[in-house]
């Protein structure tokens, strides 16, 4: 019996790891713990892209509309979220709500992931009892914003790529190709034409002082960034962007559309007007809108109308002022603001299409002039030498 019990006890004991395997397991556990701590730290300041926020808002609105409790909705979204940082954010929000805190107070702890508009809409939904409906509205707002941003970025991708290619091509010609022609022209012993001599001098300067050029570009970039970070610099930047020759009109229309859409969404969701103006000002990203919101808040608190401030501000076009005034007279300001936003969204799409059609031939002409001018300047001495030889 003793032999049997000892044998059976020997079979029940787990297999022991040798020292090498044990050390490897400890290293993996330590790496996993360090990675988790790094994600935990990053999640506190994680910047959630607008597209991901729109998707999250739409999903949670759909789950709430289906009748699921908020905690279960967040648990389901946490399981299906692929982003590890955002998964930690959702986990912390769900844990906070499970401890008895409100949804708005939980998401307010992550201002980089959930913007002021989202938090304020959640507060309005909690106060009115229609959280699912209000989140569906804000999800539509986020989706329209993402859609417009993608169109503008797609329109800007082509010219930026072409200009970058042109700069790279010109640098290659100046640094590698032109010195070959310069050594050949030196054997001619004749005076070079002014365009050719200018390119050779520019090539010599770039080869000798390329580090100074790079340092100067970085210094300019750093200085402009520091200036724009100041209040006066930011105001100068916003005024310049709105009045820019080609893209200024588009930037102006995007700012107006965002102002009207945000204002209408908040007012329709039951957010008080003064709080609405604070959120619109913070979400605009333009000094002109911030100044207008401050003026509107002062005027409205004294019993005035929004249209009266818009009529005195040159940043807002006359059509917008008249439509807002008509909305105030009929008690449908949010509806009018939505119509204005729809109008400017269509205008932005048309402007983007027109700019895309206009930029393509302009860039082709620009490349032809730059590259063709360099080629002609370098072959000009050869043409002159051929003409002299032909005359002899």
Q: What is the pLDDT of residue 18?
A: 62
Domain pair 50-114 / 144-392, same fold: yes
Q: What is the pLDDT of residue 5?
A: 44
Q: What is the pLDDT of residue 3?
A: 42
Burial class for 390, CB neighbours closer than 10 Å (0-12, 13-18, 19+): exposed
Q: Which of 316, 321, 352, 301 is nearest to 242 (CA)?
A: 316
Per-residue tokens: 320 = 């917008």
Tens of pLDDT, residue by residue, the chain (392 residues):
444 444 444 444 555 556 666 666 666 776 767 777 777 888 888 888 988 999 999 999 999 999 999 999 999 998 888 888 899 999 999 999 999 899 999 999 998 899 888 988 898 888 888 889 999 988 988 998 888 888 888 878 888 888 888 888 888 888 888 888 888 887 776 778 888 888 888 888 888 888 888 899 999 999 999 999 898 999 999 999 998 887 888 899 999 998 998 899 888 888 888 988 988 888 888 899 999 999 999 999 998 889 999 988 889 999 898 999 999 888 888 899 999 999 998 888 888 888 888 888 888 888 888 888 888 888 888 777 655 444 44
Architecture label for domain 144-392 = Up-down Bundle (1.20)
Q: What is the pLDDT of residue 6?
A: 43
* Domain map (residue ranges) of the chain: 50-114, 144-392
Q: What is the pLDDT of residue 92?
A: 92
Q: What is the pLDDT of residue 57?
A: 92
What are the two backbone dihedrals, phi and then psi, of residue 302, each rounded to the nearest 5 degrees?
Answer: -95, 10
d(CA 115, CA 105): 13
Per-residue tokens: 227 = 């200036």
Query: In terms of CATH, what superfamily is 50-114?
Result: Type II secretion system (T2SS), domain F (1.20.81.30)
Q: What is the helix (H) or strand (E) element at residue 279, kind and residue range? A: helix 273-284
Q: What is the pLDDT of residue 389?
A: 44
Q: What is the pLDDT of residue 387?
A: 52
Whether 94 contacts 74, CB under 8 Å: yes
Instruction: Answer positive or negative: Cα dihedral of 184, 190, 191, 195.
Output: negative
């Amino acid at each position: 019996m003793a032999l049997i019990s000892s044998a059976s006890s020997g079979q029940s004991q787990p297999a022991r790891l040798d020292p090498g395997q044990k050390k490897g397991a400890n290293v993996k556990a330590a790496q996993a713990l360090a990675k988790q701590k790094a994600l935990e730290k990053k999640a506190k300041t994680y910047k959630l892209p607008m597209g991901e926020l729109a998707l999250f808002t739409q999903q949670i609105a759909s789950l709430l509309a289906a009748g699921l409790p908020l905690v279960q909705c967040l648990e389901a979204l946490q399981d299906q979220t692929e982003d590890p940082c955002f998964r930690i954010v959702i986990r912390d929000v769900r844990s906070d709500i499970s401890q008895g805190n409100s949804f708005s107070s939980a998401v307010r702890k992550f201002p980089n992931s959930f913007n002021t508009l989202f938090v304020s809409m959640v507060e309005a939904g909690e106060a009115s009892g229609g959280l699912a409906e209000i989140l569906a509205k804000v999800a539509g707002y986020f989706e329209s914003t993402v859609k417009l941003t993608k169109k503008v970025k797609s329109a800007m991708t082509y010219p930026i790529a072409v200009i970058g290619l042109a700069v790279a091509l010109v640098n290659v010609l100046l640094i590698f190709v032109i010195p070959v022609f310069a050594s050949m022209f030196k054997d001619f012993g004749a005076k070079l034409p002014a365009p050719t001599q200018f390119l050779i001098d520019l090539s010599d300067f770039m080869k000798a002082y390329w580090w100074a050029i790079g340092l100067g570009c970085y210094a300019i970039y750093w200085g402009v960034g520091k200036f724009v970070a100041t209040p006066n610099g930011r105001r100068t930047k916003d005024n310049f962007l709105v009045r820019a020759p080609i893209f200024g009109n588009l930037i102006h229309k995007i700012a107006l559309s965002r102002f009207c859409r945000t204002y209408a969404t908040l007012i329709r969701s039951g957010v008080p007007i003064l709080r609405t103006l604070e959120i619109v000002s913070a979400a605009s990203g333009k000094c002109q809108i911030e100044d207008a919101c401050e003026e509107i808040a002062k005027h409205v608190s004294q019993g005035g109308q929004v249209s009266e401030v818009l009529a005195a501000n040159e940043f807002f076009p006359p059509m917008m002022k008249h439509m807002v005034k008509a909305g105030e007279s009929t008690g449908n300001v949010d509806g009018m603001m939505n119509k204005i936003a729809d109008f400017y969204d269509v205008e932005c799409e048309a402007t983007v299409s027109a700019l895309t059609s206009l930029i393509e031939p302009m860039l082709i002409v620009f490349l032809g002039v730059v590259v063709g001018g360099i080629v002609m300047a370098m072959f000009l001495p050869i043409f002159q030498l051929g003409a002299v030889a032909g005359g002899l």
